[in-house]
Amino acid sequence: MDKNQIYAALQNVYDPELNRNLVELNMIKDVSIDNGNVEVVVALTTIGCPLKNKMKEDILNEVGKIEGVKSVKVQFGEMSDKEKEALFGKKKNSLNSFENTTILAIGSGKGGVGKSTVTANLAITLANMGYKVGLIDADILGYSIPQIMGIKGVRPVAIGEQAILPIETHGVKIMSMGNLVEEDEALIWRGPVLSGVLEQFMNEVYWGELDFLLLDLPPGTGDIPLSIMQEVKDARFLIVTTPQITAKGVAKRLGIMAQKTNTDIIGVIENMSYFQCDKCGEKHYIFGSGEGEKLSRELDVSFLGEIPLLKEIREGSDKGISPVVDLNSPVGKIYKAIGEKIIEDI
């Protein structure tokens, strides 16, 4: 048994947050062998890494499999600033390229139409379909993603000055202002500051490889949607509305703003379309019907689907348990069909 075998085994151990193996990440600082007793020294990106026990377990497992190994000891240290810089690049430069990522900015005209709920559920659906998905809560002042995704009070891990790691849940990597500030803290910021925060979320959070990055926008046609249209290259808009005429009217203005800035609109989703009676099965169109589809025709974009008004959806987001985790549930199937249409379109 020699060091090469140990290094080869360590290539099977991954940093769960960075999704690359420890050798490739240059995290193995030393390997020593003394009469079958192996010691591995690992430099973590941050010594408080919450997943170091998992890494230790994987090292013990992989190295322990090698013939002739009697015992394995793992020691943890922390990377130097220079090493972190080599890994994540210098601050200021973006940590991400998004070259192979579809950026979907999800907006609505009016507030309360369920845009954040739709964004969260769509993110989970795409992740369940096998895609690598990130989600930025770009509703920086009115964030609700931590509540919906069940990560209220969870803090993201910072790697020195270099990077922040997104929080991962339901297979989706998430960044929200709600995970950075104290609960109930009122943020009083103007447009340019908000756009700066969004820029940081895109550039200074280490997203790794993503197929989709979903941005949950604040409602309306304010600074954030406008700066995304103007500054985020290749972002596509997805508009969520309800069947109410007032909601559709304001959503149309967002669509026209996108068209004026030459931003692609991938389609319209109508949320809270109908209530299906759980006793007789009849569909009741409480808020009217057909407005989402009408909006898509008026904007000349795809109509992606209707999501019913369901107690489970409201309960799911209030409790932080999404109802679409199971793609075979009735809501899951609707979201999956929407996900497939989006994929077909891109």
Ligand X SMILES: Nc1ncnc2c1ncn2[C@@H]1O[C@H](COP(=O)(O)OP(=O)(O)OP(=O)(O)O)[C@@H](O)[C@H]1O
Where is 106: in which H helix or E strand? strand 102-108
Candidates 96, 102, 117, 162; binder of ligand X (CB under 6 A) is 117
Enumerate the known binding-site residues for ATP. 109-116
Please name every residue paired with 78 in a beta bridge, in sequence order, or none if there are none.
44
Lookup result for tokens 């932080």:
320
CB of 296 to ligand X, least distance (A): 18
Per CB under 6 A, contacts with ligand X among 140-159 are 142, 144
What minimum distance in Å lies between the beta carbon of 344 and ligand X?
Answer: 23
Shortest separation between residue 120's beta carbon and ligand X, angstroms = 8
Q: Determine the residue type at 127.
A: A
The C-alpha atoms of residue 171 and residue 123 are separated, in whole angstroms, by 9
Backbone CA torsion sign across 197, 173, 128, 209: positive
Strand, helix or coil for residue 38 = strand
Task: State the pairing for strand pair 158-159/163-164.
Answer: antiparallel
Q: What SS3 class is residue 190? A: coil
Find out whether 27 and 79 touch, Cβ atoms under 8 Å. yes
In angstroms, what is the minimal distance from the CB of 119 to ligand X?
A: 8
Q: Is 108 in the site for ligand X (CB under 6 A)?
A: yes
* Residue type at 128 in one-letter notation: N
Q: Which stretch binds ligand X (CB under 6 A): 35-43, 79-87, 104-112, 293-301?
A: 104-112
Q: Which is nearer to ligand X, 139 or 204 (CB)?
A: 139
Angle among Cα 140, 227, 93 to the nearest 5 degrees reads: 85
Among 107, 114, 243, 305, binds ligand X (CB under 6 A): 114
Distances (CA, A) of 289 to 107, 273, 284, 314: 20, 7, 10, 20
Interacting residue with ligand X among 50, 64, 68, 112 (CB under 6 A): 112
- Please compute Rg for the chain using Cα positions: 23
Binding residues: 109-116
Q: Which stretch binds ligand X (CB under 6 A): 15-23, 137-145, 192-200, 246-254?
A: 137-145
Asked if 104 contacts 214 with a C-beta cutoff of 8 angstroms, the reply is: yes
Least spacing, CB of residue 215 vs ligand X, in Å: 12
What is the H or E stretch that residue 164 is in?
strand 163-164
Residues 255-284 that bind ligand X (CB under 6 A): 271-272
Contact between 139 and ligand X by CB under 6 A: the answer reads yes
Please, which residue, 207 or 335, has the CB nearer to ligand X? 335
State the amino acid at position 171 in one-letter form.
G
Query: Scanning residues 283 to 322, which ones bind ligand X (CB under 6 A)?
Result: 307, 309-310, 313-314, 317-318
Show the binding pattern over residues 166-205: x = contacts ligand X (CB under 6 A), - = does not: ----------------------------------------
Calculate the alpha carbon distances from 276 to 94, 112, 243, 244, 280 in Å: 47, 20, 15, 17, 8
Applying CB under 6 A, does 111 fall inside the site for ligand X? yes
Binding mask 45-84 for ligand X (x = CB under 6 A): ----------------------------------------
Using the minimum distance from each CB to ligand X, give the nearer residue, 17 or 139.
139
Return residues touching ligand X (CB under 6 A). Answer: 108, 111-117, 139, 142, 144, 219, 271-272, 307, 309-310, 313-314, 317-318
